Amino acid sequence: MHNYGKRKKKEQKGELKIGNEANAILQLQASQADPLLALREIVNNGIDQNDNPIISVIRFKRKQGYEILIEDNGKGIPPGEDGNCDMKKVATSICDSRKALFTESEREKDNIVGKFAIGLLGFASIGKFVEVISRCHSAEKTRVLRLKKGSVDYSIEDRGKLSKSSLGTSVRIFPVHESIVSRFTVEKLNYFFRDVLSERLIETGTKLTIQDRVSKKSLEVKPYYYKGDKITIKNVALPPRNDEARKISVDLYINPKQDANGKVAVLSQGVKILDNITEMHEFNVEPWNNPLLEGKITNTYLTLPPTTRYGIVPDDNLTEFIFALGLIEDDVKQVLKEAEEKKEQKLNKAYIKDLKNSVKVVMNNLSEEYSWFGLGGSKVAINAEVDGKVKSDQIKKKKKFNTVFSNGPLSFIRVDKKFVVLLPGETVTINASAWTIEGHQIPSGVHYKWDTKSQFMGDTKIDEGKFTFTAGTTEGKLRVKVTGSLSYGGSKQKDKKSVDIEIVSEKEKKKIYQGARFPIPRSFYRPGEHWRSRWSGNLETIEYNTGHPDYKIAEKKGKKGVVRYLQKIYAKHIVLHNFKGQSDDKILERMIEVMTLFDSVTELNGVKSEKD
């Protein structure tokens, strides 16, 4: 048995130390694998040195190859005892930055980024040598520090005062590695700095220009400003530390573009440390991966990898960050949901005309077996403006399905009308028929019972599966119910259907048949739900899910893609409205019939794109 009693164990304690300083420095030098991020660090150093920074990044070519020169108008390297730039301190203070002494609030206030004193070592990912050329206000000389890739040796050289005509620091890297020369064109550097430094350029008022002495091109980096609608979200407070109030700054927008592909960046002191917050798996969920959402989240308290300064070190600071953003997720989701639905309702207006046109032509070319949503028969007077060059009769009439007869069993009853609008004195005949689950009609042996309280609204005549109604003079509504029953195979099967009849004035009837019954589709943004569309009995219309991946695919194709997607949805509901209860095979046959007609309409009539 083990003795778990308290017993003081012998242990040795101490501090870790670098066993080989030279090797450690070379490892740091080699740890920056991205030359563009290394260049960003040098530019950041230049911004740190001035209240009104002007930075130039210049590419030129000499005999030994391409060179990169970064110039700033700062105060220069701080002076040593002789009044000139103390280059020896720079060379011998690796990992010992004076900027690390600032508190986080001071760093945020003064827009200071540097804190590790290793950024200069990243030159090795760009070229073979680096020269740091600097002159401060008290200096009589311009002083130069030179380092070499793969070496821990340094050299310092004094030059005449006029060798650098103005205060500030220049960093010359040469020759640039041949394999990466193409990364330093004006266009590519402009795109890169605009992407990773926009916020810092705005916050510090930095003017950053890129020049190429080879191609004779020059560009000033223009920061990116978000153009969407700002989401009003309060900054998130973090638990105080050392009596210092801390917060996360949240700046989010709704991307206004139809093909939005927004992303939320994570920043620290204006420098992008994550291009997209979804790079962390904890945030690769709604709302952060919603393409409508863009903007930035700034947190100066995150721990960064010293060499790359890109990404976030997992520690307590990151845990706080994840928890804090979780507090605002529901609010952001609700704003995005409302924005998505508002956007789709607005776009609906552009789609409805083409959708109505195609639906009218399709319904008027389907057999009498089809009825529209609430309107009897397939001839529907939807208020649609069909292009003059395309008429309904231009589409070859589809042949009716050959009716197959059967003795049973009864699966469902079908009525040829589901909604009828009559003027006083008008007559309508409603036919009921019985069918098997395979879609075979039962011609005899079925008993039909019609139930209606119509004695006060008109006259009726019943003949088995046929119901004739003549409207009286009183306007109003009634519902006719029919039950079909069949004794087959030793059991009795039943099914019920109903037909709504409305007696109205001539003016009201015209209004109904001129589009009042067309179910204008309503969009709902439900990315976490798998349904594409559904029929809303309360709203009497079709609802479709703009958050479904299939809709997103259609949306990328523009207006034409969305209209054709909605046509498929209408085909689905037309078939279900008329043939629900039939076998899967029959349902799919009907779907093919309706969708083929929609395709014919589109080919003949066309759907104009947004660019037309």
Taking 60 as the threshold, does the pLDDT of residue 112 lie above it? no
Neighbours of 7 (CB within 10 A): 6
- The secondary structure of 280-319 as a DSSP string is SGGGSSTTTT-TTEEEEEE-TTS---TTT--S---SHHHH
Distance separating alpha carbons of residues 143 and 193, to the nearest angstrom: 29
pLDDT at 389: 38
pLDDT at 396: 46
Query: What would the pLDDT profile of 148-170 be if each residue is shown by its tens digit?
Result: 999 999 999 988 755 566 778 99
Comparing 64 with 234, the larger pLDDT belongs to: 64
What percent of the chain has pLDDT above 70?
A: 81
Assigned token pair, 474: 């009183």
Neighbours of 9 (CB within 10 A): 4
In this structure, of 40-54, 114-128, 216-230, 521-535, the range with the lowest mean pLDDT score is 114-128
Q: CATH says 352-605 is which class?
A: mainly beta
Taking 80 as the threshold, does the pLDDT of residue 447 lie above it? yes
- The confidence band for 344, taking pLDDT boundaries of 50, 70 and 90, is low
pLDDT at 4: 56
pLDDT at 159: 81
- The confidence band for 351, taking pLDDT boundaries of 50, 70 and 90, is confident
pLDDT at 392: 46
CB 171 within 8 A of CB 70: yes
pLDDT at 466: 92
- The secondary structure of 105-145 as a DSSP string is HHHHHHT----SS-GGGGGGGTEEEEEEEEE-TT-SSEEEE
Question: Could you tell me which of 543, 545, 541, 544 has the C-alpha nearest to residue 528?
Answer: 545
Taking 80 as the threshold, does the pLDDT of residue 424 lie above it? yes
CB 601 within 8 A of CB 564: no
- Average pLDDT of every residue of the chain: 80
Residues 256/259/265/270 CA torsion (nearest 10 deg): -60
Query: What would the pLDDT profile of 372-396 be if each residue is shown by its tens digit?
Result: 654 545 444 444 444 433 444 444 4
Distance separating alpha carbons of residues 561 and 354, to the nearest angstrom: 12
- The confidence band for 25, taking pLDDT boundaries of 50, 70 and 90, is confident
Query: What would the pLDDT profile of 566-600 be if each residue is shown by its tens digit?
Result: 999 999 988 888 887 778 888 899 899 999 988 88
- Pairing relationship of beta strands 447-451 and 419-422 according to DSSP bridges: unpaired
Taking 90 as the threshold, does the pLDDT of residue 402 lie above it? no
Comparing 4 with 434, the larger pLDDT belongs to: 434
CATH architecture of 24-220: 2-Layer Sandwich (3.30)
Cα distances from 343 to residues 263, 337, 339, 352, in angstroms, run 19, 10, 6, 14
CB 472 within 8 A of CB 392: no
pLDDT at 91: 87
- Mean per-residue pLDDT, 454-476: 86
Taking 50 as the threshold, does the pLDDT of residue 285 lie above it? yes
- The confidence band for 144, taking pLDDT boundaries of 50, 70 and 90, is very high
Taking 90 as the threshold, does the pLDDT of residue 179 lie above it? yes
CB 598 within 8 A of CB 568: yes
Q: If DSSP codes are grouped into helix, strand and coil, which group holds residue 591?
A: helix
Domain boundaries, the chain: 24-220, 229-327, 352-605
Taking 50 as the threshold, does the pLDDT of residue 105 lie above it? yes
The pTM score is: 0.53
Q: If DSSP codes are grouped into helix, strand and coil, which group holds residue 277?
A: helix
Assigned token pair, 567: 């046509």
In this structure, of 64-73, 271-280, 388-397, 494-503, the range with the lowest mean pLDDT score is 388-397
CB 173 within 8 A of CB 126: yes
What percent of the chain has pLDDT above 90?
A: 23
- Mean per-residue pLDDT, 416-435: 85
